[in-house]
Structure 1
Amino acid sequence: MAHHENVPVVRPITDADIPTSVDTLARAFADYPFTRHVIAAEGHEKRVRHFQEVCLTRIGMVYGRVWVADEGRAVAVWATPDEDPAPAFAEVGPVLGELTGDRQVAYESAEQAVAPYRPQEPAWFLNTVAVAPEAQGKGLGGAVLVPGIEEAGHAGYPAFLETSSERNVRFYERLGFRVTAAVTLPHGGPRTWCMRKDPR
């Protein structure tokens, strides 16, 4: 029986999971090359937390799909082609713009630099994934991504993501993603890898 307990339980997020999930995202991205580049240094951690909270609760949970494991100590946020998130971005765009602060030009130029490499056809887009530091090494990161990858595949859509961490590239390759582009972001930004997994 003990062996079975090691299989992570992954389920759709509930409102009760939000505080832990936001905390997980904020801690995971406190020192991430991309967010360092596009979010102001002043009050950085607070800005990152608010940025992740907006992406989770106002975009992911409304216009996408979100799964958690370990009560939100692992969380994966997807945008799906079934919903057009444009209204959400129109609504939260100014908030995100404010959070980027004096890095807004870097944020906008980063988006423009990566845009040509994003799928032109409908796709599942991994907005964000994180595992709390104390929950790492248990396979939660892979587990929390599987439902989205599988649902995208069943529906015949590619899954797509961007990462600014070379270590993450190997992790995603093990899940069946392949690198489609490696872009060095303008204004001294980090190298960012675009990855996709096609449906079978």
Structure 2
Amino acid sequence: MVAKKILMLVGDFVEDYEVMVPFQALQMVGHTVHAVCPDKKAGEKVRTAVHDFEGDQTYTEKPGHNFTLNATFAEVNVNTYDALVIPGGRAPEYIRLNQQVLEITRHFAQTNKPIAAICHGLQLLAAADVLQGKNCTAYPACSPDVRAAGGNYVQIPVDEAIVDGNLVTAPAWPAHSRWLAEFLKVLGTKIEHPEIAKVSG
């Protein structure tokens, strides 16, 4: 496997699972992941929020963990990265106001590098105007953003994912296993499962 260098765009109140799980899982299989936040440096923290589905008309929100950034936003050189990950939560709605965040996002789309976005992360892709003609999904409340940006919003079960070329999207964190598995395929990551030797008794 060729290890890839992956950039993750986060901000305060990023969804807890949607930052923690891919950050750790992608490193577990050998990739390098740099999590950055506008106006923050490596070693600083962002606060996370836990979004849950408890039978209300929309998700509930509770305080999550503090997540430590491991790279500095101002030092990002997009040309050194192979792929982009955009978690959801509340962060995408305001980091999309940062012009450099939009430029970074456009770089990955325009160079056809793999992009994985989940839940409200599609708000950032819509703001960067990189969804034109793309089949994708998101948290349902973000579907107007996707459609307004020219994307083809597809409603799928909350634990499923959609792949369209370099873009891998999912509705929310229950899809992590499918979303990350599909992203690894797009990255070209192959995980081998050697047969367990049988011991005869």
* TM-score (normalised: structure 2): 0.32
More helix by share: 1
Bigger RCO of structures 1 and 2 (CA < 8 A, at least 6 apart):
1
